[in-house]
Amino acid sequence: MKRVLIGVVLAVTTATGLAGGSLGCSRNNIEAVNLAIEGDKAKSTDIDSAISKYEQATNLDPTNHRILWKLALAYTKKEAWPQVATTCAKAEKLQPKNALYWFQHGLAMARQAVKGPTSWADAKPPLEEAIKLDPNVGDGDHYGAAHFELAEVLLHMDDEKGALDEYTKAIQSKPDTLAFYGPLAELYLRLNLVAEAEQSLTTGLSFAKDGDKALFAVHSLLGDIYDRKNDTGKAVAEYELAKKSCGLCNEAGQQIAFFNLGAAFASLKPPHKSEAMANLQSFQKMICKGAAAARYTDQCTQAQQLASRLGGTLQ
| Residue 167 shares a structural domain with residue 196 | no
| Residue 165 shares a structural domain with residue 192 | no
Domain that holds residue 216: 175-247
Q: What is the arithmetic mean of pLDDT over 175-190?
A: 97
Q: How far apart are CA 246 and CA 67, in angstroms?
A: 38
pLDDT band with cut points at 50, 70 and 90 for residue 16? very low
pLDDT digits (tens, 9 = 90+) for 296-315: 999 999 999 999 999 999 99
CATH number at residue 207: 1.25.40
State yes or no: cis peptide before 271, omega within 30 of 0. Answer: no
The domain tally of the chain equals 4
| Residue 87 shares a structural domain with residue 126 | yes
Domain contains 147: yes
pLDDT at 18: 56
Does 8 have pLDDT greater than 60? no
Does 49 have pLDDT greater than 60? yes
Domain contains 186: yes
| Residue 59 shares a structural domain with residue 117 | no
pLDDT digits (tens, 9 = 90+) for 129-167: 999 999 988 654 568 999 999 999 999 999 999 999 999
pLDDT band with cut points at 50, 70 and 90 for residue 6? very low
Is the Cα dihedral 187, 189, 194, 199 positive or negative?
Answer: positive
Residue (of 282, 291, 287, 237) closest to 264 by Cα position: 237
pLDDT at 137: 85
pLDDT band with cut points at 50, 70 and 90 for residue 26? confident
Q: What is the arithmetic mean of pLDDT over 257-282?
A: 98
Q: What is the arithmetic mean of pLDDT over 17-33?
A: 69
Q: What is the arithmetic mean of pLDDT over 173-190?
A: 96
